[in-house]
Structure 1
Amino acid sequence: MHEPVRSTNIRSVGYRQAERVLEIAFLSGGVYRYDNVPADVHGALMASPSKGGFLARFIKGHYSYRLISS
């Protein structure tokens, strides 16, 4: 289940802890799945005042991902 967030780029964030899967839905319409993301990284993303900045700095380039919906 995705949780809506306040962001200029991100619409909602979903996380499945058992699978360590993070899903990011962007306002532009794309949904990306990031694999092997630890729960503490998801928690830090949700606590960050800048979701897009956190994503760019700590998730993109650190975890494998793929587009699951456009």
Structure 2
Amino acid sequence: MPAVNPGKLAGMSRILIALGALLILVGLGWHWVRRLPLFKLPGDIVIDRPGFQFFFPITTMLLISLVISILAWIFRR
């Protein structure tokens, strides 16, 4: 059985703790996040017909991608 590198375990534990903290924050803030006008922005495509509903949130996904990219850039510095 190969030896486990303690440095890798420490990095993995930090990632898991950060993800857990993020999930807790999202869970606590879900009440207010639901009220945001996300997924109802101009540019989000909604086709609603009898027996068929198609939803493609282009603008919302671009906005979320921008926020995640900015956060990644900040934390990388």
Category of TM-score, reference length = shorter chain = under 0.3
Q: Which has the higher contact order (CA 8 A, sep 6+)?
A: 1
Higher strand share: 1
TM-score for the superposition, normalised by structure 1: 0.24
